[in-house]
Structure 1
């Protein structure tokens, strides 16, 4: 059996179905709300004391990596101390048996206290990456038996990618490779890593984060290189004799580490107050939706109404991190569209006037 057939057909089919749904998102779908950042399941061989203790430790480590976005968090001295007492951060746990694979695999499942986890990371000086995360589009050319092809949203390789990226809390997309993609890009373009062609072909998917690579398959091992293209940055890693699972874990590390450095919020790097002007708030329902929207953004610590003028609301935000990180977080959603980012505010008559650090957006339903 090849390295790509490391998962059961039923499991792969479910993962691939999820990828197909993601791959048909509209052009502005650049992000996803990641579920399960604060929960984890771990395969176990039994339900004894030692198995449970080891599983708790492993589950906490996995959650901390997901929330921080990078594995380096596990080398932090404060985090290492917390890993010795994982039960202090668990809200509930249990065991279950998965019989779908035929081998009755047992799992330990734990749900962690979100506030306790965030407090731990802040006390350790580690930035926190919220639930709204950019999707990464994957352009991958694979050579096998002298034939090269672009991996699309079907087959076993995307299923293995999906599992590794899900374990890191990373949304991903694979290209459809339909007529539009075929007209925009070729296997030669992906194999050669031609940045401009890759970025042009990626526009329909609305993703700034692009993972590209070329892999040669020899029996069950892969050789080649993976590269992450993001906002003018190009970071790459070598693939030297890895199986399919290890390749996808290497890719998840590359994406998670680099994107978290951009999006994760460091509470010690507070920027103070920022004015957010939102147009087109025409009802209480709109305002309630906007408030809920802002509550989900990690960079926003507190919100208060500064002024209301007709359908325009001026909000004073207390934020963690930088204002550019706040703008990036707002841009990941679908309901706020930028009007301007500059020196504007609202005067008594409802007109925009000079003010410091003001972001102006329009609410869309």
Structure 2
């Protein structure tokens, strides 16, 4: 009962401690006049809408025109740095606005994506990491799209654990083992082949499971990096971005092995932060089992995909006891 009382109290607390690192856009400007600033801020808002929806096509939808008509509502701050304008936007306000307008929203927290990208030149190939000349562009493109990218150090520890041939040859056991030192939810394995055209093949891995894969063509190496980031982000947004729909149904999620208050708080914070999650309510708690009512604005399959992003939350079906709720186990 004491546990339930503390939980009920904490349910009213804000989970605003999650840092929003995706609210800034860096924009080139030709001058510091009103016209130049407004044009830059409009371009920045379009970039924010792409970033928050995960879909490049959002700029052609009515929600973009409606948001641009209220530009001052979304800009929270801007500063100049030489010939660039650093603009910050109200990401949470924009996401609420997009959801009301029926646009897809890819909220926070987003999965951390560890990328092993090999540039296959004339030799054995080089890892785009460390001081590789393409690393800065790779990071910049990921920031543009709002992809939470983790680039390996490619130090002696990495080199002893995995080789560029392992990435190219799809030896995933070595790749996943080398990935363990980095905080991540997903792994991207990609190989860039310079030529005419330049090609890049990629896979998104969740453990031993391949979630998505593709092969893209570009006119140059630099364009191929942009194309790779766009392709991966598009596929992840297809899986995780949610366009909410009206529904009066709650999904009952029963989670076993929630042993401490810290476990509960981490679990409740994860659920509340999922894209499309309108409300998370505590239904019941007993021993080490907690049942939540989830007001989720999209399909069950999308909710399942989002739940898979947690390393601690895994299905644990009980074949003996049937019931309407989903059964998961918490594994700290």
TM over 0.5: same fold? yes
Residue 71 (structure 1) aligns with: 56
Match of 2:240 among 260, 263, 281: 263
Per-residue CA shift, 1:192-245, capped at 9, x if unaligned?
x444x246523542654424123337xxx9833333345353211112234x3x
Residue 327 (structure 2) aligns with: 359
Residue 63 (structure 2) pairs with residue 110 (structure 1): no
Match of 2:267 among 285, 290, 294: 290
Rounded Cα–Cα distance in structure 1 between residues aligned with 2:105 and 2:318: 27
Where do 5+ consecutive residues of structure 1 fail to align? 1-32, 98-103, 345-352
Structure 2 matches for 1:204-283, cutoff 5 A?
204-205=178-179, 208-216=186-194, 223-230=198-205, 231=210, 233-242=212-221, 244=222, 246-268=223-245, 272-283=249-260
Contact persistence 1:142–1:148 (CA under 8 A): no
Structure 2 matches for 1:330-345, cutoff 5 A?
330-334=307-311, 336-341=312-317
Compute the displacement of 1:174 (Å).
3.6
Compute the displacement of 1:92 (Å).
1.5
Where do 5+ consecutive residues of structure 2 fail to align? 1-17
SS of the equivalent of 1:228 reads strand
Contact persistence 2:166–2:175 (CA under 8 A): no
Instruction: Report the structure, 1 or 2, having the larger strand content.
Output: 1
CA shift in 2, pair 1:121/1:308, >3 Å: closer
Structure 2 matches for 1:3-14, cutoff 5 A?
none
Contact persistence 1:265–1:321 (CA under 8 A): yes
SS of the equivalent of 1:126 reads coil
Structure 2 matches for 1:48-127, cutoff 5 A?
48-76=33-61, 78-82=62-66, 84-97=68-81, 104-123=82-101, 125-127=102-104
SS of the equivalent of 1:332 reads coil
Compute the displacement of 1:59 (Å).
1.1
Contact persistence 2:78–2:87 (CA under 8 A): yes
CA shift in 2, pair 1:199/1:267, >3 Å: farther
Which has the bigger relative contact order, CA under 8 A and spacing at least 6? 1
Rounded Cα–Cα distance in structure 1 between residues aligned with 2:160 and 2:266: 40
Rounded Cα–Cα distance in structure 2 between residues aligned with 1:167 and 1:289: 29
Aligned residue pair count: 306
CA shift in 2, pair 1:73/1:341, >3 Å: farther
SS of the equivalent of 1:147 reads coil
Q: Taking structure 2 as the reference length, what is the TM-score of the superposition?
A: 0.78
CA shift in 2, pair 1:151/1:285, >3 Å: closer
Compute the displacement of 1:154 (Å).
0.6
